[in-house]
Amino acid sequence: MKLLVVGGAGYIGSHTVRQLRAAGHSVVVLDNLSSGHAEALPGDVELVRADLLDLPSVRAALEDHQPDAIIHFAAMIEVGESMRAPARYYRNNVVGSLNLLQAIVETRKVPLVFSSTAAVYGTTDAVPIPENAAMQPESVYGETKLMTERMIHAFHTAHGLPYVVLRYFNVCGAAPGGDIGEAHRSQSHLIELACMTALGQREKMLIFGEDYDTPDGTCIRDYVHVQDLADAHVLAVESLHAGKTEAATYNVGLGHGFSVKQVLDAVDAVVGTPLEREIAPRRAGDPPRLVADATKIVQELGFTPQFTDLQEIVQTAWNWHREHPHGFEK
């Protein structure tokens, strides 16, 4: 298959490009490089530098490259920033996705895999969370992902567009070889921050709340390794191409969670020295438990995560950060 990977120069996109090629597919990447890195891509992958807000260039990319399917990662992803700058999030994430959908139905109605998030659920009592749980996003970011999911479904209903939506839980880790990994310009993710702290780039780790109703009092999350998540995209796009799936939404997680303290213990073990920790107030909007019910993707797409050991997951993140303390910047 020939895939167009939109936002393919980002963290999850670049790991997916690699897994698609390992599965024998050819790839063209469309990215505006606002947060992605051309260095994250294999040297022989064609990169079309274009913005989804520029509809004529999106149309041109589809006409020029004639992909068999499209995977769409391009979005702004910071929850806090989305609350401060909603216009940028609605414009980039919702209008950008609308342009892509319009270009697809106008030029080449090929299947679409869309990157969504567990943030569409908001705070929920369901543990683990099934795909049909109530959706009440608590952030503009989550709202933009839910709106895009609904637009995609409307295009399926109106134009027969085949799609798979993947709702990611806490994505983490890096390619085991340590040559690509998470290199956002602003960092808010627990494992990434712990690695930065171990490198001496931050003084200590703050634990946001120790008084939750969980076994050790800290929040529980479902940490899915980025390479397993990348493989989920390969399964999704192959299933669409084979006509086995037409319109489906899947959670992507391991189906079990780890607490903040368990994650920090794993980082200490991998790094070999304990990080300084301080208990801080709860962070606004953090639900106590977010764990995927991943039964559907396991049963329907045969998703089989390879990285289930927390220490092994952390080790891959640490390999990347230790070798690239400033990400892709020299």
Q: Which residues are catalytic?
A: 141
Residue 218, helix vs strand vs coil? coil
28 binds ligand UFG (CB under 6 A): no
- Go through 100-130 and write b for each residue having 16 or more CB atoms within 10 A of its CB, e for each that does not: bbebbeeebebbbbbbbbbbbbbebeeebbe
CA 330 to chain centre: 25
Residue type, 106: E
For ligand UFG, give the closer residue by CB, 60 or 206: 206
193 binds ligand UFG (CB under 6 A): yes
Instruction: Name the segment binding ligand UFG (CB under 6 A); options: 57-65, 66-74, 115-123, 244-252.
Output: 115-123
Q: Which secondary structure element, helix H or strand E, spans residue 194, and what is its range?
A: helix 190-198
Which residue in 207, 270, 271, 310 binds ligand UFG (CB under 6 A)? 207
The closest alpha carbon to 315, from 179, 191, 130, belongs to 191
Answer for the pair 171, 12: CB distance below 8 angstroms, yes or no. Answer: yes
Instruction: Name the segment binding ligand UFG (CB under 6 A); options: 17-25, 87-95, 98-106, 113-121.
Output: 113-121
Q: Residue 149 Cβ, how far from ligand UFG at the closest point, in Å?
A: 13
Stretch 164-183: interaction string toward ligand UFG, x if CB under 6 A: -----xx-------------
275 binds ligand UFG (CB under 6 A): no
Q: Tokens at residue 26, please?
A: 């050819």
89 binds ligand UFG (CB under 6 A): no
Which parts of 145-294 are beta strand (E)? Answer: 163-168, 170-172, 205-208, 220-221, 223-225, 247-252, 258-259, 277-280, 289-290
Residue 200 burial by Cβ neighbours in a 10 Å radius (0-12, 13-18, 19+): exposed
For ligand UFG, give the closer residue by CB, 58 or 140: 140
Looking at residues 226 to 255 of the shown chain, list those that interact with ligand UFG (rule: CB under 6 A).
none
201 binds ligand UFG (CB under 6 A): no
Stretch 59-78: interaction string toward ligand UFG, x if CB under 6 A: --------------------
Backbone angles phi and psi of 83, in degrees to 5: -75, -30
For ligand UFG, give the closer residue by CB, 99 or 117: 117
Q: Which secondary structure element, helix H or strand E, spans residue 28, and what is its range?
A: strand 26-31
151 binds ligand UFG (CB under 6 A): no
9 binds ligand UFG (CB under 6 A): no
Which residue in 118, 146, 266, 301 binds ligand UFG (CB under 6 A)? 118
1 binds ligand UFG (CB under 6 A): no
CA–CA distance, 168 with 252 (Å, rounded to integer): 5
Number of residues that bind ligand UFG (CB under 6 A): 19
Contacts of 212 (CB under 8 A, 6+ apart): 218, 219, 282, 288
Which residue in 48, 62, 135, 190 binds ligand UFG (CB under 6 A)? 190
Contacts of 230 (CB under 8 A, 6+ apart): 12, 15, 16, 18, 19, 20
Instruction: List, in sequence order, every residue forming a beta bridge with 252; answer none if it has no partner.
Output: 168
For ligand UFG, give the closer residue by CB, 101 or 207: 207
For ligand UFG, give the closer residue by CB, 65 or 277: 277
290 binds ligand UFG (CB under 6 A): yes
Q: Residue 290 Cβ, how far from ligand UFG at the closest point, in Å?
A: 4
Q: Using CB under 6 A as the criterion, which residues of the chain lie in contact with ligand UFG when the complex forms?
A: 117-119, 169-170, 188-190, 193, 205-208, 219, 221, 260, 283, 286, 290
